[in-house]
Structure 1
């Protein structure tokens, strides 16, 4: 049996760190009142990284990919496929993945972008798993990279405090031993209006609202529900008891969602990997960023069983159960 194994991970964060107090002071000039206490109590976020004007999505993707390739010991020339999960591509086309492929000199890799909002990395992981297990690819590079600061309305306190920029990457390879044990991805387009960016180009103009719009209560309620169902589904598929999971890495959107989900699943707090306080919500980059933090600090070790989950606009969600 062929498994998809994670053999390398990497991450990139911009230089500029913006604390809640920094953000509150900046918003005050716009007549918008918020505070560190208000943000922390509702979200758990204490700071975020914001990309400078000369840093784009592909640059962050490339930097995280370089780290992941070094970690894996696999050369870019041996990569068969590159998938970049992003909602903030450099341009309409070419794909950000093709730009990354060129900058990495990954000459033998096919490349495409995948858009599933904050679920993008889990979708990319599931897609890569299908390529590898079917024998269509041996080595795959998947990246979540987002410059969400480009699509924030800085006059909307309910959304502009939530997001940050960054990128994370995995190198995946075929293995006969262990790796991804089960995956599932799902969607419900009837909920597309609770989290969206409706703006679009038409005849050289931007039509619609080109910033994030969110119904926070609906997102919270539905995120917890679908993620609980998804977690149980992947564990059932793999015949694994949730209590046997070593680490749980959910999408880093809101500490209250993470903690409530943990309680519903019976996952102890010390098994939760939480980076939302430092990174804020980096959309498709949040999972690989959190994974890399826990790997570098020694928490995630070879042989560990890790549950990974994403949820986002679409409405989309998914889970993967991985033996590291």
Structure 2
């Protein structure tokens, strides 16, 4: 019997500490009009932060719990946890094992996927592959979590974007087609543009690197906008061609939630109306590795996605990585 991955439920967690753009106007008072320009460019008006004593796994936990509760499953029912993030609890061990422990998913294997904001579509496609090829894997919990705010220097300008959050999805084995397929592309020449460049093997953390701020996230060179403006449509067309459907047959599509104007431009390029997408960055900020599952959950909750819809997820992460996947909504 052919096995397919079916989306059973989703979950989402948004922390409680609200940081508005007015708050940031005070913080960045030394940069006149900075916040106004960033708001106009991104569409972001506020973001939400977790308590500073929390780690990424603490943010992932309630999203995972909600997804399991909506699926009517217990943590013990999970066979595999795949967690995507580039703001992990530790360099090692994996954040997924910490989540497994906190969740009580005692029967689950785990691993992390670390391709920044492309992590969730990558993890979703990976989970579908495990389900399709391993009869023992019946239930997979896929989680995206983001806490880059805690890895950002206090007056780092890119801190405007970062909100904390987590999204989760439960995938189960089914005999009817659910998961359709995935696609990926990358541009490694941009790996030095934006990242955390001290604290691992390239440059182990030292007193000097900490004092110089190299253990926090930095944008060293600006990413050209066309990376997403051209890359997202190209990847979507690649996915559609490889999976045998047309762009017109996409019922709903969700992109990395960093800049609303980019999504509008890409939707026009693809010939799709804005009614076929959903954005959350306006009120939730840029939640990186978590933004796609959070937007997916919110769109489902608002009944923008319905049973039978062909849904596409397109993620773009620093490095850069880009990944997409498609599935039918059960």
Question: Is contact 1:194-1:219 (8 Å) kept?
Answer: no
Query: Using the alignment, how far apart are the partners of 1:138 and 1:206 within structure 2?
Result: 49
Aligned-partner Cα distance in 1 for 2:156–2:89: 24
What's the counterpart of residue 285 of structure 1?
290
Question: What are the Cα deviations for residues 67-118 of structure 1, in whole angstroms up to 9, with x where unaligned?
Answer: 0001112221121110111111112232211111111111111011111011
Whether the aligned pair in 1 keeps the contact of 2:205 and 2:215 (CA below 8 Å) is no
CA contact (8 A) 1:119 1:310 kept: yes
Partner of 1:12: 13
* Inter-partner Cα distance in structure 2 for 1:102 and 1:200: 25
Name the structure 2 match of 1:155: 155
Residues 1:296 and 1:15: Cα distance change in structure 2 (over 3 Å): same
Establish whether residue 301 from structure 1 lines up as the match of residue 312 from structure 2.
no
Q: Within 1, Cα distance between the matches of 2:16 and 2:55?
A: 13
Aligned to 1:113: 112
Q: Which residue of 2 aligns with 1:84?
A: 83
CA RMSD of aligned residues (A): 1.8
Q: 1:199 offset after TM fit, Å?
A: 2.0
Runs (5+) with no aligned partner, structure 1: none
The alignment's TM-score, normalised by the length of structure 1, stands at 0.93
Spell out the pairing of 1:47-58 with structure 2 (5 A cutoff): 47-58=46-57
Aligned residue for 2:97, secondary structure, equals helix
Tell me what 1:73 maps to.
72
Q: 2:250 aligns with which of 234, 239, 245?
A: 245
Q: Deviation at 1:185? A: 2.1
- The 4+ residue runs of structure 1 with deviation greater than 4 A are 203-206
Q: Which residue of 2 aligns with 1:256?
A: 261
Moved more, 209-218 or 269-278: 209-218
Q: Which deviates the most, 288-297 or 209-218?
A: 209-218
Aligned twin of 1:22: 23
Deviation at 1:168, TM superposition (A): 0.5
Structure 2 Cα separation of the partners of residues 308 and 216 of structure 1: 27
**Equivalent residue of 2:191, what SS?**
helix
The count of aligned residue pairs is 321
Aligned partners of 1:118 and 1:311 also within 8 Å: yes
* Distance (Å, rounded) in 1 between the aligned partners of 2:105 and 2:266: 39
User: Counterparts of 1:66 and 1:206 in 2: how far apart (Å)?
Assistant: 41
Q: Any stretches of 5+ residues in structure 2 without a counterpart?
A: none
CA shift at 1:266, angstroms? 0.8
